[in-house]
């Protein structure tokens, strides 16, 4: 049919049936409506091939109760669609719908859909920002980016950093703790108290045969626990809570007889406006007697402001 591109751009709710799945018009002409066209296909492979004839689309929806079939089609059509929305019975009642992108989704619209990316959430703002790389010494980079960088100067002459309020704590303020030697008794007591009897900790013969350990080793979480015992200040003070750890890696096994020490360094500060406290991330490095790093991670804490600042209560006399 010869249709006016102006008069018939939008259609009333309509369901069309394609008698020829290969007909170019159904793959090259987009009708706004709501309107849909039923196109027959013989299995997932043909569905993928037919979807590619559209030469690019913002989104495709797959409705299937067969996870294997859905995965085959989703991976097959991904190169031609910016977003693939897969719906089965477990999410059908909460589905956001075919046309509802979410701001945390990163996707574009390839080919005929225009290229580029949909600008959802902060990603849309970043399209207007300049990206700049900084090169310099760790100390200079620390000042520029506002985060302590590995290799920058540590200031370990200011007492225990957990005794400092958020306002007095400077990036690079650090503590080198005392030491703790790990024993077989420590490992076995930790296994009994937690129920973690993994062979590498409890079975000398099996651990010796391990291509990784070559003998019994301390639990990684025992290492973290012992490290906390070394750096935590026990009395009430500005540190209000520990709310997690980030980027934890066990770089080297800890064996019975190894002696552990911790470097704890103020890495990043984020003020919570009006809350009376801020978030402080601490770079933690656990080293053995040979100064080899056995564990590295960020400790995340809430640290109080000084009395009367940022909503913190005034000091009571």
Would you state the pLDDT for residue 316?
Answer: 57
216: pLDDT strictly greater than 70: yes
Would you state the pLDDT for residue 35?
Answer: 85
Q: Which of 284, 241, 272 is nearest to 167 (CA)?
A: 272
Would you state the pLDDT for residue 120?
Answer: 64
Would you state the pLDDT for residue 10?
Answer: 65
Would you state the pLDDT for residue 299?
Answer: 99
Q: In the predicted model, what is the mean pLDDT of residues 188-211?
A: 98
Q: Which residue has the higher pLDDT, 25 or 7?
A: 25
| CB crowding 63-78: b at 16 or more within 10 Å, else e | ebeeeeebebbbebbe
3.40.50.2300, 3.10.129.10, 3.20.20.60, 3.40.190.10: which CATH number matches 138-182+218-304? 3.10.129.10
Do residues 192 and 201 make contact, with C-beta atoms less than 8 angstroms apart?
Answer: no
Q: Which residue has the higher pLDDT, 141 or 7?
A: 141
| CB crowding 224-252: b at 16 or more within 10 Å, else e | bebbeebbeeeeeebbeeeeeeeeeebee
Would you state the pLDDT for residue 222?
Answer: 99
Q: In the predicted model, what is the mean pLDDT of residues 226-255?
A: 98
Q: Which residue has the higher pLDDT, 151 or 115?
A: 151
Which three-class secondary structure string do you get for the chain? CCCCCCCCCECCCEEEECCCCCCHHHHHCCCECCEEEECCCCCHHHHHHHHHCCCCEEEEEEECCCHHHHHHHHHHHHHHEEEEEEECCCCHHHCCCCCCCCCCCCCECCHHHCCCECCCCHHHHHCCCCCCCCCCCHHHHHHHHCCCCCCCCCECCCCCHHHCCHHHCCCCEEEEEEEEECCHHHHHHHHHHHCCCCHHHHCHHHHHCCCCCCCCCCCHHHHHHHHHHHHCCCCCCCEEEEEEEEEEEECCCCCCCCEEEEEEEEEEEEEECCCCEEEEEEEEEEECCCCCEEEEEEEEEEEECCCCCCCCCCCCC
How many Å is the Cα radius of gyration of the chain?
30
Distance (Å, rounded) from C-alpha 8 to C-alpha 3?
7
pTM of the model: 0.78
Q: Which residue has the higher pLDDT, 31 or 182?
A: 182
Contacts of 79 (CB under 8 A, 6+ apart): 52, 110
Contacts of 285 (CB under 8 A, 6+ apart): 262, 263, 293, 295, 296
Give the residue carrying structure tokens 């849309």: 124
Q: Name the pLDDT band for 210 (thresholds 50, 70, 90).
A: very high
Would you state the pLDDT for residue 183?
Answer: 98
Would you state the pLDDT for residue 305?
Answer: 98
pLDDT in tens, 99-139: 776 777 777 778 877 777 766 667 777 778 888 999 999 99
Q: In the predicted model, what is the mean pLDDT of residues 223-235?
A: 98
Lowest mean pLDDT: which of 31-45, 202-216, 237-251? 31-45
Q: Let me know how long the chain is.
A: 317
Give the residue carrying structure tokens 């911790």: 262
Q: Which residue has the higher pLDDT, 36 or 245?
A: 245
Listed by start position, the domains of the chain span 14-126, 138-182+218-304
Fold of 14-126: Aldehyde Dehydrogenase; Chain A, domain 2 (3.40.309)
Distance (Å, rounded) from C-alpha 150 to C-alpha 172?
10
Q: Which residue has the higher pLDDT, 41 or 102?
A: 41
CA–CA distance from 274 to each of 30, 128, 162, 258 (Å)? 52, 30, 21, 45
φ, ψ dihedrals at 70, nearest 5°: -60, -40
Give the residue carrying structure tokens 């897969």: 86
Do residues 62 and 86 make contact, with C-beta atoms less than 8 angstroms apart?
Answer: yes
Would you state the pLDDT for residue 7?
Answer: 54
């Amino acid at each position: 049919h010869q249709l006016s591109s102006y008069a018939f751009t939008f259609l009333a709710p309509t369901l069309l049936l394609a008698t020829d799945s290969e007909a170019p018009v159904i793959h090259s002409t987009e009708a706004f409506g709501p309107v849909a066209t039923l196109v027959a296909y013989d299995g997932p492979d043909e569905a993928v091939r037919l979807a590619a004839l559209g030469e690019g689309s913002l989104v495709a929806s797959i409705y299937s109760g067969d996870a294997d079939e859905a995965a085959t089609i989703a991976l097959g059509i991904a190169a031609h669609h910016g977003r693939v929305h897969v719906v089965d019975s477990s999410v059908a009642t909460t589905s956001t719908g075919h046309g509802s992108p979410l701001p945390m989704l990163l996707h574009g619209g390839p080919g005929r859909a225009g290229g580029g990316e949909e600008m959802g959430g902060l990603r849309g703002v970043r399209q207007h920002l300049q990206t700049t790389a900084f090169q310099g010494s760790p100390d200079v980079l620390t000042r520029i980016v506002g985060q302590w960088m590995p290799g920058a100067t540590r200031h370990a002459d200011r007492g225990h950093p957990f005794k400092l309020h958020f306002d007095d704590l400077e990036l690079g303020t650090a503590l080198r703790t005392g030491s703790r030697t790990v024993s077989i008794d420590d490992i076995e007591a930790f296994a009994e108290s937690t129920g973690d009897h993994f062979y590498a900790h409890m079975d000398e013969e099996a651990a010796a045969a391990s291509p990784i350990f070559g003998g019994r080793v301390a639990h990684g979480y025992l290492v973290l626990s012992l490290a906390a015992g070394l750096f935590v200040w026990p009395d009430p003070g500005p540190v209000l809570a520990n709310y997690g750890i980030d980027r934890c890696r066990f770089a080297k096994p800890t064996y019975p007889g190894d002696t552990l020490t911790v470097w704890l360094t103020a890495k990043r500060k984020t003020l919570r406006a009006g809350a009376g406290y801020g978030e402080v991330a601490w770079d933690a490095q656990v080293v053995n007697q040979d100064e080899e790093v056995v564990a590295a991670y960020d400790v995340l804490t809430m640290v109080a402001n000084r009395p009367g600042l940022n909503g913190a209560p005034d000091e009571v006399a």
